[in-house]
A and B are shown apart, each in its own frame.
Chain A
Amino acid sequence: MSDGRHAIAISDATVEINGHRIWNDVSVTVEPGEFVAVLGSNGAGKSTLLKVVLGLVPLRSGTATVCGRAPGEANADIGYLPQRRTFDESSRIRGVDVVRLGLDGSRWGVPLPRFGRDTSRARVDEVIELVGATEYARRPIGSLSGGEQQRLLIAQALVRKPRLLMLDEPLDSLDLPNQAGVAGLIQRICRDENVAVLLVAHDVNPILSYLDRVIYFAGHTAVSGSPREVITTETLSRLYGTEIEVIETRDGRLVVVGQPEAPFVHGHRHDHAH
């Protein structure tokens, strides 16, 4: 970060996609090393935040900087894990190859056989160790479980030592023990590697205890603050403009009741870019 102290700073941003207003005056900041959840109903603009940060969606008005630079210019500092993609079961590419592509996949040519010390390979092995995937990283990725694939994809996102890690619903297709395991892993990376984490989630509960902050999207805008400030009956009712109730269960889980689905869901959540 050359000048900006923030990992992400967006102010008064408006975004339109295909003539539809997605954001209206959204202001968001993320600090280095923070663990931030991005919440809200489908189509409320959660994935849009990741795309704005990557420079894939332009702002209609307002300003945005990422690690002190314009969006799109800091992508080398961002590890990005798009919405769940599974590898074909017949795919013979190994986990270690997928991780390696995160490091050098954008370089032309093909790698030639290397003799002597291979620093790239050492980095790949190191990051695979970090996510605890060493045991199965050399097996075909199609033969691994969802949780194992997700750990390898996190390793791929981390291999370039990013300052910012953006994960789009990384816990969605995992069973409960794997959700807890992957959430714990992300928290550990955030703290030990001092990486800011921006995690889009459907359900806040598996990560609730780790979060520094939540950004809640609804009604074309967003509020941010600590989970206990934002996920309340008052704040969410104001945000949605209708009666919302937040219930806390005895074990500390938060349940949002009466949350309306956004009226504009045009496949926004499922636009796997090609």
Chain B
Amino acid sequence: MAADFWASYQSKQLLSVEEVSRVAEEDLELGLTLQDTRLIKIAMTTYMRDLAQQAKLRQRVVATAVCYMRRMYVSKSLCEYDPRLVAPACLYLASKAEESVAQAKLLVFYAKKLKPGPENGAYQLEVKDLLDMELRVLEALDFRLVVYHPYRAAVQYLNDAKLTDVMQTTWSLLNDVYRTDLPLLHPPHVVALGCIHLAAFLKDRDAKPWLEDLKADMHAVRAVQMELLDHYEQYANIDPALTAAAMAKLPIRTRAART
């Protein structure tokens, strides 16, 4: 999106690593660790991607939805806002905000069709739950819905750097960025540069001279790369049992469970 990032709320809201790594009091009481919360968020990111694929939603919607979810849990607890409801609700809200509206009942239909995993097997999603949570998500986000993404910037940079052959790799890295809290920590163009640098490195291309000419914050660019590499090291192969164990610590708060 070429709109004005620097004047946006998002630019004023970039967070520090400490802020995104805090576990809410209530969650700590339930025995959730920082590792648990990360696993849950990764599982939910995957879940949103799968659900979006079923519902034929654009990648952009998924990216926005993931940002909503991650932004929410900076201030809200997992136990109060059940991620199993938050994830589809964020996707639903993002589909509206990104102008490719998905129908609530279709989303619920596809959610039921998905293969049950630790992140969605525990209950059946209903339209009413989705719509209730949509409103709560909106409120938790303080109704700020515009999110800027690194994809467009990345394409422009790659063209400028004449590195279009690493486009595919960069794109995959960018998609994986959403499995981390990076979108909350850095402005999109820094995220894009970090991914480009890493992609070039993986493909034995030298992006350094071009990057150095840019006068970008190289420290931040490097931080993006390191975080991404860390992520691959730690979470490339997640044991589903670990995620399931983390999820099991959360009480189920759907209507069905309440009644």
Tell whether A and B belong to one assembly.
no
